[in-house]
Amino acid sequence: MTLENQIKSKIRDVPDFPKPGIVFKDITPVLQDHVVFNALLVAFEKRYAHQKIDAVVAIESRGFIFGSPIAHLLKSAFVPVRKKGKLPFDVVEQSYDLEYGSATIEMHVDALQRGHRVLVIDDVLATGGTASATCRLVEKQGGNIVECAFVIELAFLQGREKLKGREVFSLVRY
């Protein structure tokens, strides 16, 4: 069985979460299967092992689950991107539009150095708004994005369109 099929076999659909009409892709069963979770991490490690990644920038909160061990495997820095007000030190921020309103994400001002080669990672690429804002935040700090990586891509939501001009990789597509 391919890795994509192994991961898909573990993803649980949760209807009407977080609101009616949404089918949530729950990654918890992937995390509970150490064999599949490890294979997923190894797949990312192999993809980026020779790309000289200086920092893995992970998006709150489920992106942290994947970003931290991948940064460790790549011997790279781990950089969390969090919702406004969650980081304890001086930050740089980026706002972006949501379906109804806007949101702001932040990163510590000293998290990246100019010219750092960055891998941006999250669990799911949906509409691409948060990932796009994260890329702008990285670039604002002088980072060079090698690729945006996701465990799951909900292709029907066309999130890649918001990441146009950037390399995008996902292990599983729906």
Judged by phi (left if over 0) then psi (alpha if -120 to 50, else beta), residue 34 lies in: alpha
Tokens representing 44?
A: 């990312």
Strand partners, 83: 105
136 assigned to active site: no
Tokens representing 117?
A: 């080669």
The one catalytic residue in 62, 82, 136, 166 is 62
Quote the longest CA-to-CA distance of the chain: 46
Q: How many CB atoms lie within 10 A of CB 2?
A: 8
99 assigned to active site: yes
Q: Give the C-alpha separation, 151 to 7, whole Å.
A: 9
Beta strands in the chain (DSSP E): 12-15, 23-26, 55-59, 77-83, 91-98, 101-108, 117-125, 144-153, 168-173
Which amino acids are annotated catalytic? 62, 99
